[in-house]
Structure 1
Amino acid sequence: MVFRWLGLRTFEVWLTGRLLASPTFHRLVARVHQKVQHMKHGVPPEELSGRGTHADDHGSSLKQFFGYFKEEIKDQMKGKPPNKF
């Protein structure tokens, strides 16, 4: 009985060592940690700036902007209050 316990304990130690040596395990833990930190504290500005901006979509974003701009001008001419986001 003691031999079986020692065998299981040895297997557990070996398996734990393999898991802790695995880069995949560490990447998984880092991603989970990052998601928890973002949920608790929000995304830091450094990471937001690293993702890039929507300035790459010049054509579609300019069309959208001018579309919204025209709508706002029309609404103001009609006397409607401005939209609050």
Structure 2
Amino acid sequence: MWKNVGLRAFEVWLISRLLSSPSFHRVVRKVHRRVHEVRRGEKLYDPEDFSGLHIDKPNDFKIKKFLNHYREELKDQFRSLVKK
């Protein structure tokens, strides 16, 4: 019995953390927008797109670019170790 109570309390805690996270709400908003576009055939516009908040993205992180650069650096380091 106490095991179930502990699991239930842990589940409630996890759900509260999930519902309080902004990233979860962004994902739900994007999924809702896509479903609406598919069902109705009309595009929904996000007000944030027009607010000017996303004009400059200085922290625009591209994972593929990073991985290519990282791989090249590892190759260069390996080459320098082999030459010695």
Q: TM-score, normalised by structure 2?
A: 0.50
Partner of residue 38, structure 1: 37
Runs of 4+ off more than 3 Å = none
Tell me, which stretches of 5 or more residues in structure 2 are unaligned? 51-84
Alignment size in residue pairs: 47
Q: How far is the alpha carbon of 1:8 from its aligned partner?
A: 0.1
State the alpha-carbon separation in 2 of the partners of residues 7 and 35 from structure 1: 38
Across the aligned residues of Structure 1 and Structure 2, the Cα RMSD in angstroms comes to 2.2
State the alpha-carbon separation in 2 of the partners of residues 39 and 8 from structure 1: 38
Matched, 1:15 2:14: yes
Tell me, which stretches of 5 or more residues in structure 1 are unaligned? 52-85
Q: How far is the alpha carbon of 1:43 from its aligned partner?
A: 2.4
Q: Tell me the SS of whatever aligns to 1:31.
A: helix
State the alpha-carbon separation in 1 of the partners of residues 16 and 6 from structure 2: 15
Q: TM-score, normalised by structure 1?
A: 0.50
State the alpha-carbon separation in 2 of the partners of residues 43 and 15 from structure 1: 35
State the alpha-carbon separation in 2 of the partners of residues 43 and 28 from structure 1: 20
State the alpha-carbon separation in 2 of the partners of residues 41 and 8 from structure 1: 41
Name the structure where helix makes up a greater proportion of residues: 1
